[in-house]
Amino acid sequence: MISTRAFVSYATWGRKQLVFDKSCKSFSCSNCDNRRSRLLHSNSLSHRRQASLHLCATQQPSKLLERVKFDSNGLVPVVAQQYDTQEVLMLAWMDRQALLVTLKEGRACYYSRSRKSLWRKGETSGQVQWLKDIYIDCDGDSVLIKVDQKGVACHTGRRSCFFL
């Protein structure tokens, strides 16, 4: 993991030098001009050891997609969690395209199973989820995204879709 104590941290991935600047919560990559690149984590690396995988998401989305095991319908379940409070907000689904759009735009985009189309969270309501981090579970068959939720996450008007 990148140290949370350092103001600026460095990581290497292959021949790329990645720089994480905590002041603006972004990565810059020596091979990429896009400052909105994201830090990606994976627990399913060699030897089953927990480790961090640092990628420049705008240049290497295929590396992330290789680790995701989509189901027979081409979907993967995604849990959205508020990045600073750890509150679980919702469960939704992504297909390949939704995952790529999420990485490219830096905001959550899901696949609507009922509409059979992409669903950019907050596009009509303004209840946007800005991507902070993305994690893949140890089996690669589910994804956790840490987001900054603007407004409520649930269509019922509640902050979270999980309640008693």
Task: Give the residue carrying structure tokens 């972004």.
Answer: 26
Could you give the domains of the chain? 1-58 (no CATH), 68-164 (3.10.20.810)
Per-residue pLDDT of the chain (164 residues; tens, 9 = 90+): 332 222 333 344 444 444 444 444 444 444 444 444 444 444 433 323 323 344 444 457 778 888 999 999 999 999 999 999 999 999 999 999 999 999 999 999 999 999 999 999 999 999 999 999 999 999 999 999 999 999 999 999 999 999 98
Which residue type sits at 6? A
What's the whole-model pTM score? 0.68
- Give the DSSP letter of residue 87: -
